[in-house]
Amino acid sequence: MPDHDPDSHRRCHGHVFPKSGATAVGAEDTDLLDAGLRAWTAPPARQDQKNPDSQLGTVEAMPANPLGVALRNRRAGHHTLVWARPDLQAPEFTLTSPAFDHGAPIPEKHRGRLFGANVSPALNWTQPPAGTVELVLIAQDPDVPVGKPATHALTLGIDPSLNGIPENALANPSPIPGLRHGKGPLGRRGWAGPMPIRSHGPHAYVFQLFALDQVPGLPVGFALDEVIAAMSGHIIGRARLDGTYEIR
């Protein structure tokens, strides 16, 4: 995959996301996400009657959510992603999914557990660099209206001899031997599918795959900050895939 244009990550599927850091609120406001997920998100998606085979579905028409509208310009920003950290830069390989193209909407079946099946998407990648001993996957939403991205997947122990993982491989426990999940939203482990605030606009979901030259060796219950510290100085390659999701 070629080097990423920073502004290209704000242009996903015809949408322009606010610039990184636009009116982001402090990290002390992170409890905002926990307090009203059900009120902020939409009811279950209905099948698209014009295209019954569509995986994307449609959401029943509802009045705009005042909270989502009020917070529309508050986003953590792409500069807060793990990908943007200066100490985690490395040559890139390619990450793809059969479920969606880079910058395109993520299908409904991968939506979060409150209203969706919470099935993690299948992922494929090209060969990581020689010397890779472990792959680490981090998926984040940089469009949440708080000071840092929401973590939707934090997985260690991916065998570098694999060229991908199947659908629902990020379940907890994982069907793939060796995969270990760290703490994500609300302390859960494993895949946490998209659940953006309704009427907040499009959210990006950024899948970041890192090739390491040593095993992180973290204990059970590891958190994102611990993974970042363990990876620093040991990343020899990385790959990225962006999807989008919006509840109108």
Question: Model confidence over 133-144: pLDDT tens digits?
Answer: 999 999 999 999
Residue 230: CB atoms within 10 A of its CB come to: 18
Let me know if residue 197 belongs to a domain: yes
What CATH number is associated with residue 207?
A: 3.90.280.10
Residue with tokens 């509802």: 62
Instruction: Tell me what the mean pLDDT of segment 121-147 comes to.
Output: 98
Rg (CA), the chain: 17
Q: Taking all residues of the chain, what is their mean pLDDT, rounded to a whole number?
A: 82
State in Å, rounded, how far the first CA of the chain is from the last one. Answer: 32
Residue with tokens 């890139």: 92
The backbone torsions φ and ψ at residue 164, rounded to the nearest 5 degrees and listed phi first, read 165, 175
Let me know if residue 89 belongs to a domain: yes
**Percentage with pLDDT > 70 across the chain:** 75
Give pLDDT tens digits for 36-59: 454 445 444 444 444 434 444 334
What is the residue range of 208's domain? 6-245
Residue 24 CA from chain centroid, whole number:
19
Let me know if residue 1 belongs to a domain: no
Would you say residue 10 has pLDDT above 80? no
The residues pairing with 135 across neighbouring beta strands, listed in sequence order, are 158, 211
Instruction: Tell me what the mean pLDDT of segment 230-240 comes to.
Output: 98
Between 17-31, 142-156, 191-205, the lowest mean confidence (pLDDT) is in: 17-31
Tokens of 202: 């499009």
Task: Output the pTM of the full model.
Answer: 0.78
Let me know if residue 70 belongs to a domain: yes
For the chain, how are helix, strand and coil distributed in percent, rounded to 5? 20, 25, 60
Let me know if residue 212 belongs to a domain: yes
**Percentage with pLDDT > 90 across the chain:** 67
Residue 103 CA from chain centroid, whole number:
12
Asked whether 224 and 151 are in contact (CB, 8 A), the reply is yes
How many domains, in total, are found in the chain? Answer: 1
| pLDDT range class, residue 116, cuts 50, 70, 90 | confident
